[in-house]
Chains A and B, each alone.
Chain A
Amino acid sequence: MAKASPSEPVLTLDGIRKSFGSKEILCGVDLSIHRGQIKVLIGPSGAGKSTLLQCINFLVVPDGGRISLEGQPVDPSDRKALCRYRQQVGMIFQDFNLFDHLTALGNVEIGLVRVKKMKRSMARERALAELERVGLARHAHQYPAELSGGQKQRVSIARALALDPKVMLLDEPTSALDPELIGEVHAVIRELGAAGMTMIMATHQIGFARALAQEIIFMENGVIIEQGPPDQILDDAQCQRTREFCAKITELGGHG
Chain B
Amino acid sequence: MNTPLGVLQQSLPYLLQGVWVTLVVVLGSLSLGLLVGLPLAVGQVYGPKPLKRLIGIYVWFFRGIPLLVLLFLFYFGLFPFLHLDLSAFVVAIIVLGSISSAYQSQILRGAILSIPEGQMKAARAIGMSDVQAIRHIILPQAFRLAVPGWSNEYSVLLKDSAVTYALGVAELMARAHHVASRTYQHLVLYLCAGFIFMILTFLGTRALDALHRRVKLRGYS
Contact = CB atoms under 8 A, between A and B. Distances in A.
B181 to A, nearest CB: 53
A213 B137 CA distance: 34
B50 interface: no
Interface residues of A, number: 32
Given A100-B141, A101-B141, A101-B144, A87 B118 contact: no
B124 A59 contact: yes
Contact of B126 (A115, A143, A144): A115
Contacts of A239: none
A3 interface: no
B219 interface: yes
B129 interface: yes
Contacts of B219: 142-146
Interface string A95-137: 1011111000000001100110000000000000000000000
Nearest to B144: A101
B2 to A, nearest CB: 59
Which of B123, B127, B132, B219 counts the most chain A CB atoms within 10 A? B127
B121 interface: yes
Nearest to A92: B125
Given A93-B121, A97-B121, A87 B217 contact: no
A189 interface: no
Contacts of B118: 93, 95, 97
B4 interface: no
A143 B217 CA distance: 8
Contacts of B127: 83-87, 111, 115, 163
Interface string A138-174: 0000111110000000001001100100000000000
Interface in A74-99: 79, 83-87, 89-91, 93, 95, 97-99
B220 interface: yes
B67 interface: no
B206 interface: no
B127 to A, nearest CB: 4
A86 B125 contact: yes
B192 interface: no
A59 B129 contact: no
Contacts of A114: 128, 132, 136
Nearest to B220: A145
Contacts of A86: 124-127
A99 B129 contact: no
A97 B218 contact: no
Interface residues of B, number: 22
B140 A101 contact: yes
A163 B126 contact: yes
Contacts of A101: 137, 140-141, 144, 217
Interface in B88-119: 116, 118-119
B121 A111 contact: no
Given A101-B144, A114-B136, A115-B128, A93 B119 contact: no
Contacts of A111: 126-128
A93 B132 contact: no
Contacts of B124: 57, 59, 86
Contacts of B217: 100-101, 143, 145
Nearest to A145: B219
Contacts of A144: 219
Interface in B157-200: none
B129 A83 contact: yes
Contacts of A83: 127-129
A93 B120 CA distance: 12
Contacts of B132: 114-115
Contacts of B126: 86-87, 110-111, 115, 159-160, 163
B125 A91 contact: yes
B211 interface: no
A139 to B, nearest CB: 12
Interface of B: 116, 118-119, 121-129, 132, 136-137, 140-141, 144, 217-220
- 6 tightest A-B contacts by CB? A145-B219, A87-B127, A97-B118, A97-B122, A146-B219, A91-B125
6 contacts: A110-B137, A111-B127, A115-B128, A143-B219, A159-B126, A160-B125
Given A93-B121, A99-B122, 4 more contacts: A93-B122, A100-B119, A114-B132, A115-B132
